[in-house]
Structures are given as C-alpha cells and as structure tokens.
Structure 1
C-alpha cells in the first residue's frame, strides 16, 4: 500500500513510522506481520517496482502462475532473488531482486492477477538456460508441463527461435530428457538416474492394463524394454493407509509380470544403491521374460491424459475429474 494521510487505503505517515508497518520498496508499505519471505509476497513486492518495459520472469513468474514446485528457495535453503526481465537499464538490481537485460518483446509479457510476468515458455526456458545442471533444467520443464503451461514442442520451437541466447545449449541438451507427464521432482530424478544407466525407453505415470483391458495401476516410471516399474516413496508412503495401498499396488503390478524397484529419499543423495537395485530388477525381469501380460494400449472407455495436448483438450469438468490425483504426488 502507498501512504494515505486519511488512513483509508494505506497507512498514514505516522503509522508507517511505527512498528505495525514496514517499507517494502520506495513508496510502498505492508503490515509488519506479513511474511516477507513467502514466495508470492516476494513476487508481489518486486512487481510494484517494475517500470512499464519490465516483467517478472523465471521461477518467480511460474510461482505467480501457481506452479506447485516453484517455491523460490535454492538447494541450500536460501531465498532466490526475484528475476525481472527488462529491456532498459532504468531498473537496478537490489537485494532480493535481480535484473536480466535480455530482449523483451510485448508478446513475451502477460498480466496475471495484476502482475506483469513473462509467458510460460519464456519463464521456463529462463530457468532452464540458467540451471546449474541438466537435472535442474529438466525438472523446471517437467514441473511446468505438469500444469499444462508448456509442452516439449513449444520448448523446442523457442530454442530454435533463440539460437544465440545465453544458456540455449542447456535447453537443447535437456530436450531429449524431457517428459510431459511427471508429477513430482523425485520422479524426474528417478528417470534421470535411469538415464545414467542407459535406460531411456521409459514413460511416466502411464496407466498399465491387463490383457482384458482392466486398469492395474499407474506407476511413477516404467521401463518399457524390460518391464521394470520404478516408484519413488517419500515420507507420505510410510504412513499406514498409504503403505497398505502401496503394497497392494506392487502386488497388482507384479501380478501381470512387472518387476519393481523403489527409490527413497536417501537415494537422491547417493543413487548408487538404487542403481544396483535397478540393474538387479532388470536382470530378474529378463530371466522371467515370457508372453507379456500387460499393455499400455488404452481401452475405449479410458480418456488418455499423458500429454500436454491431451490435457489441454479436456473440458473443465474433465480436468477436475481426471487430473485431481496428480496434485497428491
């Protein structure tokens, strides 16, 4: 809020000097009890500083567009600055705000809930171009594709149209590893650990059916070559009801001839044990190979939702009915 001598639309100058308010930026104040570290608050406070030729980009734009996994904290637990794309240098970088002077077209900007942000493909490719490694770049895309805001084809087209931009090689390097149907960052990590083992013919969250067309389960990741299911079990999966559900799910998948390997949080720090378990599971799967009793072919009654294009084609009612389970991942 700006100062208001009447106190109706903002604090009076006297109130602003008291303990009940803090200055968030030049001319703007917020109640002192508002959490300045909350990602959405940080974006909002940065947005009021923007000149007409600038827009919030990167993680901050994606967080403002309600992308679930963009919380604005780096791996060490420090807040990331809100990055602003600006075509001129009239905006200086400040604590908590970083300015990127790359070319910004009007077509790159949209207004979401009163805040100017770069369009999703521009925002996510910014994250990918400045990512510290391939895993972070792939995570960025996959967690935006989760919300159907960007597709692999759109990323590829953007990379082709911006060949000379900083970090574009990182985007091109990540493209072969992208997926449009991952539901959480650990699923991305699991898939990329498999890629390190040379396992590339995989799908994420694809429904498995038996030969009679009955839905068996929808595993996190599935190795199509050998029929090995990869599942990530976080802390939620240790609870009673969820654990019982997971055990039934594993039994159902094994019942149609699929092998099973589980990744846990410790494997994210050191994946060597998970890699060994994966190779052992693949060896068992090959040794037990026989007529395939499972399929990914969807029966006529099933509505496919594995791609961004398929999900974008759903009605609002269909999205609510078919996609709500994705947010529990």
Structure 2
C-alpha cells in the first residue's frame, strides 16, 4: 500500500529511500538509529511517536493493494474510542492486517497477518487507508476472543461510536461467516450486547448483575423522569420491575465535586422510590462486594411500600438516542445537544 494516499492529520507519512536525500533517507541512513523500517521499503524517522494511528499506518505499508486493516485497528481508524490497541497491562497489540488466502507477505513484528477470505465489498477506504467494514472488524475480534465479557464489550463499544449495531454484526456473520472457525463465539455474544452502553465499565456492571440476578430485565442508560416530565437522572442500569438502579463509579468519582453529585443523585433515587446500588472496580473482590450490595438493594426494594414517582416514559421534548440507527439519524445540532457524553 502506498502510504502517501493517507490524508488524516497528525500522521507522519512513511517515505522510501531517496539517493539524493531530498524526499527520503539515503541508503546509508536507513541502517542508522535515526530511521525505522515500516515494511515494503518504507521508513519513518525514529523520533516519530508511535501513536495508535501512526502504528496502524506503518503496519499497513507492506500490505498488498488487495489487503485492509481489520480488527481493533480498523475500528480505531473508523473512530472507535475504546479500541486503544493496548492490553489492560499496557502491552501493545499487533496491528491486524486482512489478506486473502492467496497472497502472502513476510511476517514482521507488530503486525498480525490475517490470511482468510477477503472480498472487495468487505473493504472501504477511509482517509486514504483501506479498512475492512466495521461488521467484519468486529467479527474478527469476536472470533479471536475467548472471554465472553470481553466479546460483549467489543460489541457494545463498537455500537457506542455508531460504527455498527449488534444486529448488523449478526446479519453480517449469518450471511458471510457460517461454518467459519469460532463463529459460535459471535452467536454467544450478540444476545448479551447492548447498543446503548456508554463505557466498558458499564459492560462489566451489566454482566455481573446478570450473573447474580439472571431474571432481571435490565435497561441500559434509560432516562428517568418524574411524573411531571422532568428529567431526574440517567442511571447506568435499571431493573424497572424491581425498582433497582445501578451505577459504576470509577476513580474520577473520588473527586470532591463528583462525589457530592453522586450522593445527591442517590438521595434523589430514594426520594422517588428507587433503590441504588454502586459497583466500584472490576476486580474479583470488588465484584463480590457489589454482589452483596445488589442482594441487599433487591431486598430493600421488595420491602418498600411508598409509591414510585418515576417513569421511563419519554416526554414530548425528549429525543431518544438509545439505538445506533436513531443516533445516526440525528443532525449535527442534535448530536451536540443529545450526545454530549
């Protein structure tokens, strides 16, 4: 692939060797520490910071014209904010490059070669870089990820940035992937996905809640209103039948101003007949603590006798943004108001 076609700002474009030294390094220079090779005869100065997008471009340099970036890298290039290309422990992930099963290139560090069927309709060009369509990129991640919660997180976070909905992923998998290795991982994850989750932590909250209360009818980020139509809050999760709401509080909630707002919100929930429960952290110990608090919240909700003064029914002035299709239909002005998250 010729990286000179890349138009995205912030990328340092790789260059080929130039005997004059005008448009690229001279042959004797590429052997020094001042330059690093990107594959395919392309080079960038070693001083260039290997940001997420920069790594993607450099990995794509040796890609044939029939290839495309896929997996986490394709989703990141497409605007996926929750596909950083690093593990939770900080290890850089290889950039996956999709190839058809007839074209081989030499393996090199930092690049994962995905040699499988690849048709032209699976590829789109964004800012000069060929990437696989988002549904295929998601399916690649789902098929190569053993952990179920992580697969659900992939689906939810692809939907968060409106790259593709779980239903679009399922439709693509049914049409194109039946019989492929590990396709059952897609079938397992899609029914558990939610296209209105707003962070990976919320996925952990929902999955743990389901593990503890399998019959709960959970709704994600549903706005709550009082009986006069005023917006009360938008909890991370709510079980409307039980009247239990759940929030995930990360480290940022320790800030004094945020902590005060959290307490005020919890009091507001109770004033309107709801029982709040909070999850803090995703470790085994913190999940065990959440499970105990969740059981207590359901017990308190069952004993509550005061009438509920909240509703999930949207007033006329509210704009529903709970699904990918609805968010895509918003105007820019509406997005600036309703998608401030």
d(CA) in 2 for partners of 1:155, 1:306: 17
Moved more, 146-155 or 92-101: 92-101
Match of 1:301 among 304, 310, 317: 317
Match of 1:271 among 287, 303, 322: 287
- Aligned counterpart, 2:19: 5
Question: Shift in Å at residue 29 of structure 1?
Answer: 1.3
d(CA) in 1 for partners of 2:21, 2:56: 25
1:189 and 2:204 aligned? yes
- Aligned counterpart, 1:113: 127
- Aligned counterpart, 2:112: 98
d(CA) in 2 for partners of 1:137, 1:286: 34
Cα deviation per residue 1:47-77 (whole Å; 9 max; x = unaligned)? 1111022111100111111211111112443
d(CA) in 2 for partners of 1:249, 1:164: 49
Question: Any conservation in 1 of the 2:138–2:158 contact (CA below 8 Å)?
Answer: yes
Counterparts of 1:1-329 in structure 2, within 5 Å, are 1-36=15-50, 38-87=51-100, 88-161=102-175, 162-197=177-212, 198-265=214-281, 267=283, 270-325=286-341
Instruction: Give the paired residue count.
Output: 324
Question: Any conservation in 2 of the 1:267–1:274 contact (CA below 8 Å)?
Answer: no
Aligned in 2, Cα 1:121/1:294: closer, same or farther, shift over 3 Å? Answer: same
- Aligned counterpart, 2:6: none
Cα deviation per residue 1:276-310 (whole Å; 9 max; x = unaligned)? 11011011011105533211110000111011111
Long gaps (5+) in structure 1 = none
d(CA) in 2 for partners of 1:105, 1:14: 40
- Aligned counterpart, 2:8: none
- Aligned counterpart, 2:12: none
Question: Shift in Å at residue 138 of structure 1?
Answer: 0.4
SS of the residue 2:277 aligns to: strand
d(CA) in 1 for partners of 2:157, 2:23: 38
d(CA) in 1 for partners of 2:122, 2:266: 45
Aligned in 2, Cα 1:21/1:253: closer, same or farther, shift over 3 Å? Answer: same
Long gaps (5+) in structure 2 = 1-14
Question: Any conservation in 1 of the 2:75–2:137 contact (CA below 8 Å)?
Answer: yes
d(CA) in 2 for partners of 1:181, 1:199: 20
Cα deviation per residue 1:185-238 (whole Å; 9 max; x = unaligned)? 010000000111214411111110011110000111111221111111111111
The list of structure 1 runs, each at least 4 consecutive aligned residues, that deviate by more than 4 angstroms after superposition, is: 266-270
Moved more, 216-225 or 265-274: 265-274
d(CA) in 2 for partners of 1:204, 1:93: 42
- What TM-score do you get using the length of structure 1 for normalisation? 0.93
Aligned in 2, Cα 1:129/1:195: closer, same or farther, shift over 3 Å? Answer: same
Question: Any conservation in 2 of the 1:267–1:273 contact (CA below 8 Å)?
Answer: no
Question: Any conservation in 2 of the 1:199–1:223 contact (CA below 8 Å)?
Answer: no
Question: Shift in Å at residue 112 of structure 1?
Answer: 1.1
Moved more, 25-34 or 105-114: 25-34
Question: Shift in Å at residue 35 of structure 1?
Answer: 2.6
SS of the residue 1:22 aligns to: strand
d(CA) in 1 for partners of 2:263, 2:21: 60
Cα deviation per residue 1:144-166 (whole Å; 9 max; x = unaligned)? 10011111221221222121122
d(CA) in 1 for partners of 2:265, 2:221: 14
Moved more, 130-139 or 25-34: 25-34
Aligned in 2, Cα 1:93/1:321: closer, same or farther, shift over 3 Å? Answer: same
